[in-house]
Amino acid sequence: MRRFLIGLIIILSMAGCSKSTAGAIPTTSIIAGMTSTPNSTNLPAAFPSLPAVTPTSNASPTPFTQFTVKPSVENLKLRSNAGVEFPALILLQPTDVLTVLGTSPGNEWTYVKTGDGTEGWCFSQLLDSSVDLTKIPIKQPEKVIAIKGKVVDGIGLPIQGVTFTVTQTGGSDNTVTTDENGDFYYFMPDSYTGSWTVKYAAIACKSNVWQDNACATYKAGYTGGVIPLEQTVTVPQSGVLSFTWH
């Protein structure tokens, strides 16, 4: 009997320590302060509110405000399009007031309107303006083709103020100068064809190659000039002429 009782106590003790396979599963928190069993169909009366999303503001660019300029020389040509290859419409005088409408790619030509409503293009450097004419909206010339080129230094920095001559075989020299992005555009009528030579001519004092405003000493690493010195292109042009300042 004693042995029977000891065995019964051991069996009951083991049963109390074993895991139950039929007992209830402990509740699991779904939202703070609420519990549910897997079979529960109870849902919270309301979910916590999310913070409001503030819309992103897409500010509109500042609209261009037209302003006026005057010619800085007598008999300034108001041309029919952006370039010396286009005829003059009228000759302008320093007393003429011109409304500025835009600038060409490369910023060498400014699109203006005269007091009588005539519209055309003037060479930007011959206009007296209190506004930086390189910072106004671009106006694309119509019915043109262009000889396009770019000048950078050995590490890819754009070089401004590099002047080239542009000459058609048997024709006269005209010039074009790079803008602050190192780009130049020589515009001509879209009917033009043939072979043209683009040749390095000079570097302007406004260029970023100079050590200071005296324009007498190049920055460290520069010796002056471009590679190659000249290139020949057939128009209509394919691609962009590439020059490296050294």
What confidence score (pLDDT) does residue 59 get? Answer: 53
Letter for the amino acid at 132? D
The first and second tokens of residue 225, run together, are: 């000039």
What confidence score (pLDDT) does residue 60 get? Answer: 53
pLDDT tens per residue across span 101-113: 999 999 999 999 9
> 133: closest CA among 186, 180, 80?
180
Answer for the pair 109, 124: CB distance below 8 angstroms, yes or no: yes
What confidence score (pLDDT) does residue 58 get? Answer: 55
| pTM for the whole structure | 0.74
The first and second tokens of residue 155, run together, are: 């590490």
Q: How confident is residue 61, by pLDDT bands cut at 50, 70 and 90?
A: low
DSSP string, 156-172: S-B---EEEEEEETTS-
Walk me through the domains of the chain, giving residue ranges and CATH numbers: 66-141 (2.30.30.40), 143-246 (2.60.40.10)
> 74: closest CA among 88, 90, 92, 89?
92
Distance between CA atoms of residues 143 and 191, nearest Å: 9
Average pLDDT, the chain: 83
More confident residue, 2 or 123: 123
In the chain, % of residues over pLDDT 90: 72
Distance between CA atoms of residues 182 and 149, nearest Å: 8
The first and second tokens of residue 165, run together, are: 């001559």
pLDDT tens per residue across span 159-205: 999 999 999 988 889 999 999 999 999 999 999 999 999 999 999 99
The first and second tokens of residue 126, run together, are: 């011959």
pLDDT tens per residue across span 9-56: 444 344 444 443 334 333 333 333 333 444 444 444 444 444 454 444
Answer for the pair 186, 233: CB distance below 8 angstroms, yes or no: no
The first and second tokens of residue 79, run together, are: 């041309």
